Amino acid sequence: MLPLVFAFVLLQHQPCRDAAAPHLASAAERAETFDLAAAADAYFAAAGFGCAEAEIAGHYVRGLAAARDASRVGGSIESLAPVAHAMAAIEARRAAAPSLAPIARLVLEAAAAAAQSERGAMSLLLEQAIRLEGIQLEAGQPGLPAVTAHEAAGDLWLQVHGFDEARRAYEHALARVGPTPRVTLGLARVAVRLEDDGAACVQYQALVDWWGTRADGPPEIAEARAYLADQSCPVRADDAAPLR
């Protein structure tokens, strides 16, 4: 839902109308289906039509994906170079989105810290990002595009194996940004790690029901289907909030 809100806000700016609209819609759709690389490409395509905010979104999403990749190799300086580039690019365009740019930078700094397993620094950075994004949400403004700070907090705690903290973060995200696919997936994964099979069944089923009869599906949908096939899940997604 929130990626679509962000796209709508961008379209209120004259340079972002018409030609850029399909790219912004594609970015929102790709982000919702967990394809951050494609979402970033679509944001940059929109930026080509004068959408400075879309350029910031592209750098943020690309940096977030790069930080995740860096975590797989221990967060070396070389692997985190794309994240540093993204943060510098966001800072250079800060005037175009003075509310969102600082939040995006904080989340990327937290993601870089998570890649290096620096949980203390990550926690402090996430707290700041969530506080700032909370102010935006309270004012009726959108949070970060593609992956809100609230959602990113759950993802990063899960990444560093802080499962209780991840569950709290996702539950907080659920209250603030709603049952997005990313929140639902996160709650399912946390439930698996905490051996809460009932909750995992509910959340994975909600994700599969949301995907419906669409062909194929991203790896996250395959993950959900595989879990449901392997487990005895007596509960249905009726027990979970429907995704939006």
Q: What pLDDT digit, counting tens, does each position of 167-179 carry?
A: 999 999 999 999 9
Per-residue pLDDT tens digits for 103-117: 999 999 999 999 999
Range with lowest mean pLDDT among 1-5, 57-61, 144-148, 185-189 = 1-5
Which amino acid, one-letter code, is at 138? E
Query: Which candidate, 52, 139, 58, places its Cα nearest to that of 98?
Result: 52
- Do 210 and 173 belong to one domain? no
39 and 8, same structural domain? yes
Measured between alpha carbons, how far is 102 from 105 in angstroms, rounded to an integer? Answer: 5
Q: What is the largest CA-CA distance in the chain?
A: 53
- Identify the band that residue 42 occupies on the pLDDT scale cut at 50, 70 and 90: very high
Q: Are residues 134 and 213 in the same domain?
A: no
**By the 8 A CB rule, do 184 and 202 touch?**
no
Whether residue 5 is predicted with pLDDT greater than 50 in this model: the reply is no
Shared domain check, 192 and 138: no
Q: Are residues 65 and 163 in the same domain?
A: yes
Domain count, the chain: 2
- Residue ending a domain, among 131, 150, 177, is 177
Do 168 and 217 share a domain, yes or no?
no
Where is pLDDT greater, at 184 or 231?
184
Q: Is the domain of 157 the same as that of 42?
A: yes
Quick count: other Cβ atoms within 10 Å of Cβ 9? 16
Are residues 170 and 200 part of one domain?
A: no
Q: What is the pLDDT of residue 51?
A: 86
* Domain final residue pick, 177, 193, 221: 177
| Tokens 């949908």, located at residue | 221
DSSP collapsed to 3 states, 162-205: CHHHHHHHHHHHHHHHCCCHHHHHHHHHHHHHCCCHHHHHHHHH
| Confidence band of 64 (pLDDT split at 50, 70, 90) | very high
Dihedral (C-alpha) 47, 61, 122, 91: value to the nearest 10 degrees?
-10
* 39/104 same-domain check: yes
Rounded distance between C-alpha atoms, residue 158 and residue 186, angstroms: 8
- Spatial CB neighbours of 8, under 8 Å, sequence gap ≥ 6: none
Q: Which residue has the tokens 């961008």?
A: 10
Domain range enclosing 238: 179-244
**Exposed, middle or buried by CB within 10 Å (0-12, 13-18, 19+), for 14?**
exposed
34 and 127 in a single domain? The answer is yes
**How far lies 173's CA from each of 46, 150, 169, in Å?**
28, 5, 6
- pLDDT at position 8, please? 40
Q: Where among 151, 177, 203 does a domain terminate? A: 177
Residues 156 and 225 in one domain: no
**Shared domain check, 194 and 173:** no
